Amino acid sequence: MRNMNIKSIQQWFSRAGELVNEFYNAPYRSAIARAKRDEDDLFMMLVFSEMMGVPNPASYYTLELQPLMLERFHDWHQRMGMEHSPLDHFRCC
Amino acid sequence: MNAIFVMLLGLAAMFLGYVFYSKFVAEKIYKLDPNFKTPAHEFEDGVDFVPTNKYVLWGHHFTSVAGAAPIIGPAIAVIWGWVPAFLWVIFGTIFFAGVHDAGAIWASNRNKAKSMGNLTGDVVSKRAQTLFMIVIFLVLLMVNAVFATAISGLLVKFPSSVIPVWGAIFVALIIGQIIFRKWMGLGTVSILGVVALYLLIWAGPSAPLSLPETVGGLTDNASWVLILFGYAAIASLLPVWMLLQPRDYINGLQLFIGLILLYTAVLLLGPDMTAPAFNTNLPEDTPSMLPLLFVTIACGAISGFHGLVASGTTSKQLDKETDLRFVGYFGAIGEGSLSLATIIAACAGFATLADWEAVYSSFGQGGVAAFVEGGANIISQGVGLDNEIAETLLTVMAVLFAGTTMDTGLRLQRYIFQEWGNIYNISWMQKALPATLLAVISCVALAFGAGSDGSGGLAIWPLFGTTNQLLAGLTLMVITVMLVRLGRPMYVTLLPLIFLLIMTVFALFIQLKGFYMEENWFLFGLDIVVLVAAVWIALEATSALSNLKKEQKS
């Protein structure tokens, strides 16, 4: 019986904790997600910088990252209102 | 009359309003459907559209609509006696604010969670949408000037609050880092944060801080206004998680603690309402109660700002359509209860009528300071807290609310400037820093233009209330048009709309005359702009409704 009680109290606490977290995060969820997206976009631009004529000393390494960026790249060019990839050497859809 | 009676009467009336009137509105007018697929489910993306527990949603709907405005308004308006303010807050909450707030969520919910501005364009007309944007800009402009002035007044009057107020910002900064870097759980941090804040409040009275009376020709009030705008500009440029989010959270907790403390103290002490029920001994400069009462108390009775919150974020997180009755209507009641607490504090917190009249010596006097003084008297006698600590506590509460609103307001204004930069292709205006500077300059111009020592803020309080009511009028217009299209009775929203329009236009004319007599051409011009907007809304509403009638006949 006592065990049951402790368990239900623990459950109650973790539920309350979830709600408090929700209360803290919900109002700013979208603002923070947008800021994160902006930073990720910047990183992607760095990866593709050679193709836009910006010299990138780390291009040997960033080349490897290009395939990983495929999905993000697709999202990005659609979000920016371009139907197809704007880069000559990197086709997308 | 005993304040306990006033408090119970008010709370009971609002509760009955929730139980009966909101049920009627939800079932017969908005016809809420538990099976309707809300935008939160339809477009669920884990970012903007997230179905949220209704109590959590209520929590942040309530904390984002309740700020300093429902305290300042009633605290000024009790100058006409406590009965008129009491009646307008109670009836306004039941028949205006609740219907408006829940209606705004409903309208947005039924239209893919669009914001009120876009909805106005879709439902009424593109012209009305432009008007909506103008009114929003005016509201934001005024809210910053008003709040900066209100805060500076409090900081000058209660020097013991200076350290806790600025200290609270550091507490928020630290909390922001702890949570962002996941050093501790939110529960622990909340407790530590609240404890730190209250330690600061407790320490405040032993280290009062005030600015020199004049620095370089500026009064201390004016210097505070400038410092506040400098701070708000920096704060509005920081990422939200750093300062705004933790501060908002702490404010939310403060709001609940403050309300509970005040109501408990009233119950324990049972003070008498020393202020007159109807003030027959009005200071000479007091304008006529009708219509000014209805624009002096905007938040707390009905406020257009709620429609922005309701349609901007709340509607995107609604789990079930039937939840909006609780979230919207009960959110309005939460704010009504804050205004009710303010009325009681400002009217029952003074020992004698003479004391009260000394505080309310002219229109615009009293205000938040009366709420702080009166409330502190009630708390210190009721719960046994030291009077000075209680004063500091309430000041910090009011200042933090106003400060957060300033930060958000400036941020939103910056977005508007940046958008204009986009529309008109002005590249420098699209950047964050210059756009923020523009926003700050326009607000400072308003604060100083309306009164040379930066005291202009409170002179425009009634004008701010008017503009806020106009925004509410626009939202009510959208809801009414939607109801007519669905063939449902429209009087539930049309009557409040007509009442609001008559009162605001009437109030604008009276203020226009006042500014003309004072030869305050700055406010005179602003008043005319708002007046044009008000008449425009009335015309827009008439034409929208008459067009609908014609359509339905043919």
pLDDT in tens, chain B (554 residues): 899 999 999 999 999 999 999 999 999 999 999 999 999 999 988 778 889 999 999 987 988 888 889 999 999 999 999 999 999 999 999 999 999 999 999 999 999 999 898 899 899 888 888 888 889 888 988 888 888 988 898 999 999 999 999 999 999 999 999 998 989 888 889 999 999 999 999 999 998 988 888 887 788 888 999 999 999 999 888 888 899 899 989 988 888 898 999 999 999 999 999 999 999 988 888 888 989 999 999 999 999 989 988 988 899 999 999 999 999 999 999 999 999 999 999 999 999 999 999 999 888 777 899 999 999 999 999 998 999 999 999 999 999 888 888 888 888 888 888 888 888 888 898 888 999 999 999 998 888 877 666 555 677 888 899 999 999 999 999 999 999 999 999 999 999 999 999 999 999 999 999 889 888 888 899 899 999 999 998 898 899 899 988 888 87
Determine if the pTM surpasses 0.80. Answer: yes
Q: Which residues contact B543 (CB under 8 A, 6 or more apart)?
A: none
**Residue of A12, A19, A20, A24 for testing the chain B interface, max B β-carbons within 10 Å:** A24
Which residue of chain B comes nearest to A28, CA vs CA? B245
Considering only residues 16 to 55 of chain A, which have any Cβ-Cβ distance to chain B shorter than 8 Å?
17, 19-24, 26-33, 35
Q: Which residues contact B449 (CB under 8 A, 6 or more apart)?
A: B456, B522
In a domain, B494, yes or no: yes
Going from N- to C-terminal start, the domains of chain A cover 2-79
Cβ distance of B52 and A32 shorter than 8 Å: no
Q: CA B161 to CA B494: how far, in whole Å?
A: 44
Which residue of chain B comes nearest to A16, CA vs CA? B187
**What is the domain count for chain B?**
1
Q: Between vectors from CA B306 to CA B35 and to CA B123, what angle results, nearest 5°? A: 60
In a domain, B210, yes or no: no
Q: Which residues contact B95 (CB under 8 A, 6 or more apart)?
A: B17, B21, B496
Cβ distance of B56 and A26 shorter than 8 Å: yes
B59 in reach of chain A (CB within 8 A): yes
Q: CA A26 to CA A44: how far, in whole Å?
A: 28
ipTM exceeds 0.90: no
For residue B52, which residues of chain A lie inside 8 Å, CB to CB? 22, 26
Q: CA B466 to CA B56: how far, in whole Å?
A: 31
Residue B79 · residue B346 · CB < 8 Å: no
In a domain, B209, yes or no: no
Best CA proximity match to B20, nearest among B327, B338, B329, B307: B329
Neighbours of B419 (CB within 10 A): 14
H-assigned helices in chain A? 2-25, 29-47, 59-65, 70-79
Q: CA B27 to CA B37: how far, in whole Å?
A: 17
Q: Compute CA B517 distance to the chain's CA centroid, rounded to the nearest angstrom.
A: 29
Residue B68 · residue B405 · CB < 8 Å: yes
Local structure of B215: helix, strand or coil: strand
In a domain, B493, yes or no: yes
H-assigned helices in B158-284? 162-180, 186-203, 220-237, 244-269
In a domain, B219, yes or no: no
In which domain, by residue range, is B548 found?
Answer: 3-157+272-364+406-553
In a domain, B263, yes or no: no
Best CA proximity match to B350, nearest among B333, B364, B371, B368: B371
First-residue to last-residue Cα distance in chain B: 58
Q: CA B294 to CA B290: how far, in whole Å?
A: 7
